[in-house]
């Protein structure tokens, strides 16, 4: 076992057993206070460990070359250093926060500088995202959507069980949790209409997803092999890939979604590393037919991560849970997605984000979108305050959370939330 994953390990900072950020987690993010320059940090309980302060104190000496975090407004430089440096920094941070280590614990002056209350920080995007690719890798989701639009006999397209279907998304409109989202406008066309009309989206939806960040990328023309793919992945976040269903229905043939997906994608601000998730690795669903050789191998490829979605109307102080799912349901793994993405020779770069696509489970309460939960609006959801929803209304806040449950601790992702504002 990696010592940083030891369930018995404890920090000198008290962290309850049901908290998302114990010493076994140590996720990375970019924060700032009082409009100061952005700093890299690690979440520990209700605090942020300022990695710039730790670095300037000489506590990362011998780890990597030069400064890893000083004068860096994103984590891209750190991600580019590779797995050996990621492991060394995580190990050092774990040591510094350990209850038995006096280095930070007993240095009051350094501790006051380095540990910042999370309640007083603004979280920014953790990396500069140069490119973003969204996949369609949940068999349950693809089957549900295919059944709605093509019937049960033709639910999955012929290529679906042979390759991870994906499309290139829009990185400029990826926003951190808490950023309001404006209802998009576009063309829609009713089935019985002769021509389309222009106006606000009427069928606005969330999509429960998870994303991962490329650490070390690959050169143009040099694919990433399945056996090496895991070493190129730094960590994961929660993703709400908002979707305008009525706009998409009209525009997606023949090249796929465009305006329906480019107006906003929300992500959680803390990147949970693959090392923190290692204890929760497990085999994914059986793949039939067996994947082609370049998508085979790599050992256990999935992770047991509990996911939840809630809707909070602006008329209520209470969020109402509408979905409980799990990342383990994903048919195509993140390593298969990365290997497939690069097999053509496509290059990836530190900070590129790849998202899973909507994560749906086998039961109706585990479906990862309103399209499925309300079955195209034919089965409205009851929120518990007397209101019902077929799709997302103006003023609704969608809140997604996720965690992997350990023995006496959890490795959590925090949340990704966004409130829908009326169309401009």
Domain shared by 111 and 150, yes or no: no
pLDDT recorded at residue 64: 76
**Region 358-384: what's the mean pLDDT?**
97
The beta strand positions in 79-188, using DSSP E, are 115-117, 122-124, 132-135, 166-168, 174-176, 181-182, 185-188
> Rounded distance, CA 173 to CA 49, Å?
28
| pLDDT band per the 50, 70, 90 thresholds, residue 66 | confident
Burial track 167-198 (b if 16+ CB lie within 10 A, e otherwise)? eebbbeebbbbbeebebbbbebeeeeeeeeee
Separation CA 350–CA 42 (nearest Å) = 19
Mean per-residue pLDDT of the chain: 97
Same domain, 120 and 28: yes
The predicted-structure confidence for 225-278, as pLDDT tens digits, reads as follows: 999 999 999 999 999 999 999 999 999 999 999 999 999 999 999 999 999 999
Q: Which residue has the tokens 């043939």?
A: 253
Please indicate, yes or no, whether residues 177 and 207 belong to a single structural domain of this protein: yes
Please tell me the predicted confidence (pLDDT) of residue 398.
Answer: 98
**48 and 181 both lie in a single domain:** no
Q: What is the pLDDT of residues 379-393, one digit of tens each?
A: 999 999 999 999 999
Is residue 5 a contact partner of residue 24, using CB atoms and an 8 Å limit? yes
pLDDT for 187 beyond 80: yes
Nearest to 343 by CA among 199, 84, 110, 163: 163
Residue 174 has pLDDT above 80, yes or no: yes
- 404 token code pair: 């992997």
Are 90 and 158 members of one domain?
Answer: no
Full-model pTM: 0.97
Domain of 340 in residue numbering reads as 132-421
The reply to whether 403 and 323 lie within a common domain is yes
Residue 65, pLDDT > 90, answer no
Provide the pLDDT for residue 298.
77
What CA–CA distance (Å, rounded) separates 273 from 361?
A: 24
pLDDT in tens, 311-320: 999 999 999 9
Last residue of a domain, one of 108, 124, 140: 124
Residues 225 and 370 in one domain: yes
Active site residue 141: yes
Model confidence band, residue 54 (pLDDT cutoffs 50, 70, 90): very high
Which pLDDT score is estimated for 349? Answer: 98
Beta-ladder partners of 403: 306, 412
Residue 356's pLDDT is what? 97
Confidence class for position 299, pLDDT limits 50, 70, 90: confident
Residues 52, 346: Cα–Cα separation, whole Å: 34
Which of 39, 141, 340, 403 is catalytic? The answer is 141
Residues 6+ apart with CB under 8 A from 99: 10, 11, 12, 105
Report the helix count and the strand count for the chain, using DSSP H and E. Answer: 12, 26
User: Contacts by 117-121 with C-beta closer than 8 Å and gap 24+?
Assistant: 117/46, 117/47, 117/48, 118/43, 118/46, 118/47, 118/48, 119/46, 120/33, 121/31, 121/32, 121/33, 121/41, 121/48
Q: How many CB atoms lie within 10 A of CB 82?
A: 16
Number of domains in the chain: 2
Q: What is the distance between the alpha carbons of residues 14 and 3, in angstroms, rounded to a whole number?
A: 19
Lookup: tokens for 128: 């500069």
CATH of the domain at 390: 3.90.850.10
The mean-pLDDT minimum among 88-92, 296-300, 351-355, 365-369 falls in 296-300
Mean pLDDT of 200-226: 98
219: pLDDT confidence band, cut at 50, 70 and 90?
very high
- The answer on 357 and 376 residing in a single domain is yes
Instruction: Please identify, among 74, 95, 124, the residue that sits at the C-terminal boundary of a domain.
Output: 124
Largest CA distance in the chain: 74
* Residues 382 and 235 grouped into a single domain: yes
- In terms of domains, do 271 and 165 share one? yes
Regarding whether 262 and 209 lie in a shared domain, the answer is yes
Q: What CATH number corresponds to the domain at position 19?
A: 2.30.30.230
Please indicate, yes or no, whether residues 137 and 55 belong to a single structural domain of this protein.
no
Q: How many residues does the chain have?
A: 424
Residue 247: is the preceding peptide bond cis (ω within 30°)? no
pLDDT in tens, 92-146: 999 999 999 999 999 999 999 999 999 999 999 999 999 999 999 999 999 999 9
Write down the pLDDT at residue 62.
Answer: 86
What's the confidence (pLDDT) of residue 300? 87
Domain-ending residue, one of 74, 99, 124: 124
């Amino acid at each position: 076992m990696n010592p940083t994953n030891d369930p018995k390990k404890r920090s000198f900072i008290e962290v309850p057993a049901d908290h998302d950020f114990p010493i076994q987690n140590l996720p990375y993010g970019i924060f700032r206070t009082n409009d100061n320059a952005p700093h890299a940090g690690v979440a520990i309980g209700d605090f942020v460990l300022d990695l710039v302060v730790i670095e300037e104190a000489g506590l990362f000496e011998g780890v990597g070359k030069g400064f890893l975090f000083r004068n860096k407004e994103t984590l891209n430089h750190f991600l580019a250093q590779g797995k050996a440096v990621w492991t060394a920094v995580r190990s050092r941070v774990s040591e510094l926060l350990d209850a038995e280590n006096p280095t930070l614990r007993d240095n009051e002056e350094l501790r006051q500088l380095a540990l910042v209350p999370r309640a007083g920080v603004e979280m920014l995007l953790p990396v500069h995202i140069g490119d973003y690719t969204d996949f369609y890798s949940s068999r349950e989701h693809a089957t549900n959507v295919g059944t709605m639009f093509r019937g049960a006999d033709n639910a999955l397209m012929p290529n679906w069980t042979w390759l991870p279907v994906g499309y290139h998304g829009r990185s400029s409109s990826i926003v951190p949790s808490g950023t309001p989202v404006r209802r998009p406008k576009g063309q829609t066309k009713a089935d019985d209409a002769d021509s389309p009309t222009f106006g606000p989206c009427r069928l606005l939806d969330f999509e429960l997803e998870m994303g991962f960040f490329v650490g070390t990328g690959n050169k143009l023309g040099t694919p990433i092999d399945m056996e090496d793919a895991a070493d190129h992945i730094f960590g994961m976040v929660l993703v709400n890939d908002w979707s305008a269903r009525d706009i998409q229905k009209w525009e997606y043939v023949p090249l796929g979604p465009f305006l329906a997906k480019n107006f906003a994608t929300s992500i959680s601000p803390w990147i949970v590393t693959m090392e923190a998730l290692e204890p929760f690795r497990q085999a994914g669903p059986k793949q039939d037919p067996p994947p082609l050789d370049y998508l085979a191998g790599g050992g256990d490829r999935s992770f047991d991560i509990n996911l939840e979605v809630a809707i909070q109307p602006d008329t209520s102080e209470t969020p109402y849970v509408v979905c409980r799912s799990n990342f383990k349901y994903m048919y195509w793994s993140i390593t298969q997605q990365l290997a497939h993405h690069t097999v053509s020779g496509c290059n990836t770069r530190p900070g590129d984000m790849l998202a899973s696509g909507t994560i749906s489970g086998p039961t109706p309460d585990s479906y990862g979108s309103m399209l499925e939960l309300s079955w195209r609006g034919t089965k409205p959801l009851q929120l518990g305050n007397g209101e019902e929803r077929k799709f997302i209304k103006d003023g609704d806040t969608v809140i997604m959370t996720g965690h992997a449950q350990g023995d006496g601790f959890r490795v959590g992702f925090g949340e990704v939330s966004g409130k829908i504002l009326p169309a401009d």
